[in-house]
Chains A and B, each alone.
Chain A
Amino acid sequence: MKKYLLLSILAMMLFFVACGSGENEEEEEATEASGSGSDSSDSEDVASDWEPEESIEIVAPAGAGGGWDTTARMAAQVFSEEGIIDQNIGVVNKEGGGGAVGWAYIAGFEGNPHKLFVASPPIIFIPLNGQSEYSYEDFTPISNLIADYAAFAVREDAEWDSINDLFDDMKEDPESITVVGASSPGSMDHMQFVQIAKAAGVDISKIKYVSAQDGGGLTQLLNGSVDVYSTGVAETVEQVRAGKIKVLGVSSEERLEGDVLEDFPTMIEQGIDETFINWRGFFGPPNMEADALAYYEAKFKELSDSDAFAEIRKQFGWEELYLTSEEYIQFLDEQNESLGNLMDELGLGN
């Protein structure tokens, strides 16, 4: 009797082990199941001859739940549900080093047309910081998909009412103002602030910046420990609606659309001629073949144009920004140069 019990406990444990280690496979199956119902006629429109022969893996070089992960999962979902790509698409998280671990992983699949990854400005910052031996130049940029923008927020009762008020005070007494963001110096939340501040004529080497993870930035802004919160536009909306913070400026070219968002003034309309785009797109491994690249370029275009993805953009507050591979490379080169100069000036460059 006891033996059986023991055996059954063991069997149960093994079962759960299998469940645990199979998390990713399960997800792949789930995506497959949801996509299998659609017909395959769409794919005939594609200009290139290449077709994926096995399941496609999209790497999110960060943990579950973040921006990269969400973008990858949403793209995979729409690809399958809308029947844009018939092969199974699995999203795999390769977390670590702000992306460096995932990039090192992808770099090992040179020319493999079944591995993609999602990328955004850190693939420029982190190599410039010297924290990754791989940069965007080592991979094959396929298409950019969406854009997000920076917002600089202060407490509702703060003395500044425009971004210029803030920057004027920063020029006068830089020691009195602290900026908080989630990333470390030399990465996104820091650099987006620095880029705009420089255009406004602030001495960027004197900016006081602290990094706070796990929602700490907003907490520190609300309790008055710091003065300015450098973050993404979406993170500020609820707090603005509740009347706890105000957004002094957003980094987009023109005003954003949507409730609350449309009230945020841009930097440009406040006389600071500078923008910062938190772009997000998809890359392939080094030296992806031209056929495969053309295939994915067309598929991402189809994804970007679909109603289903428009709905997702709206849900997450993303803006549409589709770029072909060629446009993308040119855009990345420009970004790399201007950010590289900025980092040298800060003394953060490699």
Chain B
Amino acid sequence: MGSIEGIITGFQTAFNIESILFVMLGVFAGTIIGMLPGLGPISAIAVMIPMTFGMDPSVALIMMAGVYYGAIFGGSTSAILLNAPGVSGTVATAFDGYPMAQQGKAGKALAIAAISSFVGGTVSVILLMLLAPILSSVAISFGPPAYFALMVLGLTAIASLSEGSTIKALISAVAGFMVVTIGIDPQSGTQRYTFGNVNLLEGLDFLVIALGLFALAEVCTLVLKRKDQSFRNLHNIGSLKLTKKDFKEMSGPMSRQSFLGFLIGVLPGAGATIASFIAYISEKKIAKNPEEFGKGSVKGLAAPETANNAATSGAFVPLLSLGIPGSGTTAVMLGAFLVLGVQPGPMLMTERPEIFWGVIASMYIGNIFLLILNLPLIPYFAKVLKIPRPLLISLVIIFSMIGVYAVSFNTFDLYMLLLFGVIGFIMRLFAFPAPPFILAFILGGMLEQSLRQSLTISNGDLMIFLTNPISSALLILSLLSFVFPLIGQIRKRKG
């Protein structure tokens, strides 16, 4: 069967009433799950697996896919309003989204997030439809040396993420690297920094760090700076309306990051988180006014939000066309496929075109529905900020704890959350920025593993990073992103 015929079958599958109903249900559930810090798409999809017994597999998978991208779409809300990124792909959203909310522009921030999510989601679905068969070769083209180089490129963001002291940003990043090594090392099987505690064997979950350093540290600050005027604005929601100027500012990041985010999403293991960070730094690098980033920049919010949604569609490339799950969520989806009697792999496209193309085609409907669902509800979501502060603060604490507990139903994680809340607050007191810490934590694991995999393969020869064309290109790019700002500074001094 040709691709065109397959696409038509896909649209027929996606546009029947049952599929539309379930994609709506999926994205609605996904939005809600994404909004609540801590409840991620992984647990939501896992819970759904037994419910889908007996359902038509294409409909069931369309719904689960809806939960997945719906959660990334909705995840921005808590990051913007409460500085509590509940999904790792929305950490970068908080960098400019939360300052915007603090300035009394929460409504606008949510609108920007919704529109750029929609654009990123839709453009990437078009790319997915056009390029999925071709891109499967891109998805596997990255070996360990290339991943290492990609992580290095991601780490150049530390320089961009530091406000003020670069030394403090670096110290913060090193601490992040140290924390991510906790647990059993996959390459040797030995325990590192577990102190014989069985709860630390698996290492610390991303949520413990993100909710501790961001949400709980913010709560501490809010409590202690009660009389500070600058937080008054948090009660204002402001207008939802975006001006022409806003749209003009958003259009650049949206068009670029839809493509870049999608491409990064295609790589197994990279995903929405890395896509959003790379989007944020690349836009900051090319922006005319990079100093606005981190203080409520429209571009700084639009870029990661476009990229994380685009990456979500990209993640379906290896899953659907190769049967390779690139992330925890797609791994659970792979399990769901198997339970439904569908074997994802290179043969899926020709043998079950209604499933392959049906899931892809349903994403158009899902994304439109997400926009329709989210835009009118923004004023209501934003009213969360009108909740009296003592109540709001308690709610943030409760939600953070529930989110962390739901990861593995282990009370030990709650103590860790409190610990990182305190660490985050101390870091703020002494002006150590938290973003480099979380960036190092997110990238550090893969950086170390891919470095060691590469060196095992090459028997310790470092040349493997230069002989591999992808990794050498990425390493040169990383080098340039360091050198260019330096040259600029030198020129300024001379002039």
- Asked if A214 meets B143 with Cβ closer than 8 Å, knowing A131-B189, A226-B457, A348-B189, the reply is no
A6→B386 contact, CB < 8 A:
yes
A17→B399 contact, CB < 8 A:
yes
A184→B186 contact, CB < 8 A:
yes
Checking A184, A225, A316 against B338 with a beta-carbon cut-off of 8 angstroms, the contacting residue is A316
A21→B346 contact, CB < 8 A:
no
A184→B185 contact, CB < 8 A:
yes
Whether B43 is near chain A, meaning CB under 8 Å from some CB there, is yes
Name the A residues within 8 Å of B268 (CB-CB).
214-216, 219
- Asked if A73 meets B189 with Cβ closer than 8 Å, knowing A16-B36, A219-B142, the reply is no
Whether B345 is near chain A, meaning CB under 8 Å from some CB there, is yes
Checking A24, A129, A238, A316 against B323 with a beta-carbon cut-off of 8 angstroms, the contacting residue is A238
Closest CB of chain A to B264's CB: distance in Å? 15
Docked Cα-Cα span, A244 to B336, in Å, equals 24
Docked Cα-Cα span, A344 to B47, in Å, equals 41
Q: Which residues of chain A in 307-322 are interfacial with respect to chain B, using CB atoms and an 8 Å cutoff?
A: 315-316
A208→B402 contact, CB < 8 A:
no
- Nearest chain-B residue to A312 (Cβ)? B339
A96→B50 contact, CB < 8 A:
no
Name the A residues within 8 Å of B449 (CB-CB).
211-212
Checking A187, A239, A244 against B189 with a beta-carbon cut-off of 8 angstroms, the contacting residue is A187
- Asked if A96 meets B191 with Cβ closer than 8 Å, knowing A64-B42, A70-B335, A238-B345, the reply is no
Closest CB of chain A to B184's CB: distance in Å? 6
Name the B residues within 8 Å of A100 (CB-CB).
198, 201
A244→B39 contact, CB < 8 A:
no
Name the A residues within 8 Å of B159 (CB-CB).
none
Checking B50, B145, B347 against A241 with a beta-carbon cut-off of 8 angstroms, the contacting residue is B347
A211→B186 contact, CB < 8 A:
yes
Whether A298 is near chain B, meaning CB under 8 Å from some CB there, is no
Whether B431 is near chain A, meaning CB under 8 Å from some CB there, is no
Closest CB of chain B to A10's CB: distance in Å? 8
Checking A9, A13, A223 against B141 with a beta-carbon cut-off of 8 angstroms, the contacting residue is A223
Whether A286 is near chain B, meaning CB under 8 Å from some CB there, is no
Q: Which residues of chain B in 449-465 are interfacial with respect to chain A, using CB atoms and an 8 Å cutoff?
A: 449, 452-453, 456-457, 459
Count B interface residues, CB 8 Å: 74
Stretch touching chain A among B166-174, B406-414, B419-427: B406-414
Checking B42, B202, B386 against A97 with a beta-carbon cut-off of 8 angstroms, the contacting residue is B202
A6→B201 contact, CB < 8 A:
no
- Chain B, residues 307-341, CB within 8 Å of chain A (1/0): the string is 00000000000100011111110011011101101
Whether A143 is near chain B, meaning CB under 8 Å from some CB there, is no
Whether A101 is near chain B, meaning CB under 8 Å from some CB there, is yes
Closest CB of chain B to A30's CB: distance in Å? 6
Q: Which residues of chain B in 363-390 are interfacial with respect to chain A, using CB atoms and an 8 Å cutoff?
A: 380, 383-384, 386-387
Checking B189, B331, B399, B405 against A215 with a beta-carbon cut-off of 8 angstroms, the contacting residue is B331
Docked Cα-Cα span, A215 to B319, in Å, equals 10
B51→A30 contact, CB < 8 A:
yes
Docked Cα-Cα span, A171 to B120, in Å, equals 52
Name the B residues within 8 Å of A210 (CB-CB).
144, 187, 452-453, 456-457
Whether B255 is near chain A, meaning CB under 8 Å from some CB there, is no
Checking B51, B341, B346, B384 against A242 with a beta-carbon cut-off of 8 angstroms, the contacting residue is B346
Name the A residues within 8 Å of B165 (CB-CB).
none
Name the B residues within 8 Å of A17 (CB-CB).
36, 398-399, 402
Name the B residues within 8 Å of A27 (CB-CB).
47, 50
A64→B139 contact, CB < 8 A:
no
* A and B contact pairs by CB, cutoff 8 A, 24 listed: A6-B387, A20-B39, A23-B47, A63-B46, A65-B334, A93-B409, A94-B409, A96-B199, A97-B184, A100-B201, A210-B453, A211-B187, A214-B327, A214-B331, A215-B269, A219-B139, A219-B140, A222-B140, A225-B453, A226-B457, A238-B347, A239-B345, A241-B345, A348-B189
